[in-house]
Chains A and B, each alone.
Chain A
Amino acid sequence: MGRHFPKGLGSSYHGPNERSVGKWDSMTSPQSGTSSSAPPADRAEPELQRHFDDTIAHNQRIEPRDWMPEGYRRTLIRQIAQHAHSEIIGMQPEGEWITRAPSLRRKAILFAKVQDEAGHGLYLYSAAETLGADRADLTERLIEGRQKYSSIFNYPTPTFADVGVIGWFVDGAAICNQVPLCRSSYGPYARAMVRVCKEESFHQRQGYELLLTMMRGTDEQRAMVQDAVDRWWWPSLMMFGPPDDDSPNSAQSMAWKIKRHTNDELRQRFVDMTVPQAEKLGVTLPDPELRWNEERGHHDFGTPDWSELKRVISGDGPCNAQRMERRRTAHEEGAWVREAAAAHAAKQDKRREEGSAA
């Protein structure tokens, strides 16, 4: 963890357990696999590990000051940070439409929605900081390309219908992903997700409601909606990540109860949820293989173009460069403001000290 000593609540107390994390770093490397495989080099270690395993097994929450395997900590920091980055980068595709929204009601809804995403990012960064991560450092990692965000936000939003489809598909997929995370084994993450999920469900409904309204409008509007559905369907399915047999970290995350369902389970849930909504809306989902499978009790559907997902994740999506550039610019151009506020606070402290000394 180096300089990223714990700062968040709970871990803000520089007590024994936090300090010991660094000490045990090498013994429970992130790839040490199952949580019981750490070598007992310290006589305390197996006891701590057993306590941790018991907590997980009893579906109780791990809290910031608890001992945890270093791999668990690192996996969580990575996952929560990527989630937070996704919320922040995710403001951009829709944020571009706030100033152009075609009614004041839509403008207000969208403005508030994008604001919520900033709030979600902050809740999540806050959760990551309880693990000893530092937000400034995580932001650096994002803008230097060392940490990822969801591939979905690298697609463009050429029409206002995209705002509706993002709400319906992307927020809908996010809900499928996130509702189970309200039961994540790590307490601060689970609690952040409760707040996030409550707001996301509103986002999904407002997106769908926009599309319903547009479908009742002109032929041109109906065509806009179908076009947006065609463009966002496959990228939305990819939001759940690679198929299970190609998702190496999933098993460990499931065992730690950081994750509660596999990528493919969640993808299936999303498809089953969305198909009847599409029928009601009167749009066609662009998958000729999509049909109800009576035997499975689920919809069958086609295979996303996984090579596209790999391309977008590796930085070669339609808008990767643009998204990163915006975030970097905002951060850099805001530096003088952040520095000024910190400088003023320092001066005020000094004035107070001098005042009380005098």
Chain B
Amino acid sequence: MSDDHVYLSLAEGHDEGGDARWAFGTGFEDPLHGVDTAVPAGVDATELAATCLALGDDALVSAQRLAEWTTRAPELEEEVALANIGLDLLGQARLLYARCGQVDGSGRGEDAYAYLRDADDFRNVRLAELPGGDFAFSIVRLLVLSSWRLAHFERLAASPDPVLSAVAAKGVKELTYHRQYAADWAVRLGDGTPESHRRMRAALHQVGPYLGELFTAYDVRDEVVAVLAQVTEAAGLPMPAWRPTPGAGREGGHTEHLAPLLAELQGVARAHPGAVW
């Protein structure tokens, strides 16, 4: 039919984007292909591994919480958006675990980190593991974590390790988008209705105690606080109260919520030793 070509050519264009996404998201090829994986001289391998593991754990646990929204999002368009963010973070986790396995001397693959460690061995910040809560809580958490992670990745893009640098550079684009998504929603919900405003206040109150952990771990506090100040002001919301308490998640100290999250994540993999998927 003569009218087909326009749509077919459009579909082709669409397909190219899809391929790029799949190549990254499904592991059909080595995600670190083409990047020199040797640890450069002067880089402390132990420290590099610890950084990759901690950032990988943040991403995996966050992706798991985002995946819980599937079929439960407030609108269908948000299903797609939340899944995109979850997939980005899952992709980051995989790259970071892969790097960790290369430099910590264990030679482990991504799944060994995700599926064969107990809660004590996870190094994610506790904010990432808190139960899902309502959409307001998810938005506030995403705003905080994406702002914080973005500030951190921007610095890591200049890392002397070429792999971490490449992972961070890719992540910066993704996280910029995540932060924008969260900021837009924070403003809508803060300004929208009395109910949404109330829920946002509650969510900000809820994340407060977990901010100190972020701010002691890395020197990005001022940047994150500035973002939060800008967004909360636009949203007509108060800044969350935080105290500079020592981090616990980075040392393996977690809330009671991480173990059940991992039980769900790891259950099938652990129930079938020797199986291949």
Residues of A within 8 A of B (CB): 59-61, 88, 91-92, 95, 98-109, 111-112, 114-115, 118-119, 121-122, 125, 160, 183, 187, 191, 194-195, 198-199, 202, 206, 210, 213-214, 216-218, 220-221, 326-327, 329-330, 333-345, 347
List chain B residues, Cβ under 8 A from A109: 25-26
The complex places the Cα of A108 from the Cα of B80 at a distance, in Å, of: 14
Q: Is the CB of A114 within 8 A of B70?
A: yes
Min distance, Cβ B156 to any Cβ of chain A, angstroms: 21
Contacts of B135 in A (CB 8 A): 334, 337
CA distance A195 to B3 in the complex (A): 16
Contact of A108 among B26, B77, B264 (CB under 8 A): B26
B90/A104 in contact, CB under 8 A: yes
Not counting A60-B3, A112-B83, A344-B192, a sample of 13 additional A-B residue pairs whose C-beta atoms are within 8 angstroms of each other reads: A99-B264, A104-B111, A105-B27, A109-B25, A111-B83, A111-B90, A187-B3, A191-B7, A218-B275, A336-B196, A337-B196, A344-B187, A345-B188
Contacting B276 at CB < 8 Å: which of A115, A119, A214? Answer: A214
Chain B's closest residue to A347 (CB) is B191
Q: A118-B79, A326-B71 are in contact. Are A100 and B192 (CB under 8 A)?
A: no
Interface centre among B22, B115, B275 (most CB of A within 10 A): B275
Inter-subunit contact A122/B187 (CB<8 Å): no
* Cα(A59)–Cα(B4), bound, Å: 12
| CA distance in complex: A201, B196 (Å) | 41
Q: Is the CB of A339 within 8 A of B193?
A: yes
Q: Is the CB of A340 within 8 A of B272?
A: no
Nearest 10 interchain pairs by C-beta: A334-B74, A340-B192, A340-B196, A115-B83, A337-B74, A102-B269, A118-B79, A105-B27, A102-B268, A217-B276
Q: Are A92 and B71 in contact (CB under 8 A)?
A: yes
Task: Report whether B72 and A61 are in contact in the complex, using a CB–CB cutoff of 8 Å.
Answer: no
Task: Please provide the chain B residues from 4 to 22 with a CB less than 8 Å away from any CB of chain A in the complex.
Answer: 7-8, 11, 14-15, 18, 21-22
Residues of B within 8 A of A217 (CB): 274-277
Interface size on B, as a range, is 35 or more
Task: Report the separation of the CA atoms of residues A195 and B18 in the bound assembly, to the nearest whole angstrom.
Answer: 11
Which B residues have a C-beta under 8 Å from some C-beta of A? Answer: 1, 3, 7-8, 11, 14-15, 18, 21-22, 25-27, 60, 63-64, 67-68, 70-80, 83-84, 86-87, 90-91, 93-94, 97, 110-111, 114-115, 134-135, 187-189, 191-193, 195-196, 199, 264-265, 267-269, 272, 274-277
Chain B nearest CB, measured from A94 CB (Å) = 9
Q: Is the CB of B275 within 8 A of A122?
A: no
A60 to B196, CA, bound (A): 49
Known contacts A121-B76, A220-B272, A339-B192; A103 and B70 CB within 8 A of each other: no
Chain A interface, DSSP helix/strand/loop, else mixed:
helix
- Cα distance A101–B275 in the bound complex, in angstroms: 13
Q: Select one of A59, A108, A118, A187 contacting B90, CB under 8 A.
A: A108
The CA of A338 and the CA of B73, in the complex, are separated in Å by 11
Report the Cα distance A327→B76, complex, angstroms. Answer: 11
In the bound complex, do residue B22 and residue A112 qualify as a contact, i.e. CB atoms below 8 Å apart? Answer: yes
User: A103 and B277: CB pair below 8 A?
Assistant: yes
Which residues of chain A have C-beta atoms less than 8 A from B73's C-beta? 330, 334
Contacts of B14 in A (CB 8 A): 195, 198
Give min CB distance, B15 to chain A, whole Å: 6
B189 to chain A, nearest CB (A): 5
Q: CA A213 – CA B115 in complex, angstroms?
A: 19
Of all chain B residues, the one with the shortest Cβ separation from A135 is B76
Closest to A335 in B: B74
Smallest beta-carbon distance B94→chain A, Å: 5
Contact B11 A330 (CB under 8 A): no
Q: Is the CB–CB distance between A118 and B76 below 8 Å?
A: yes
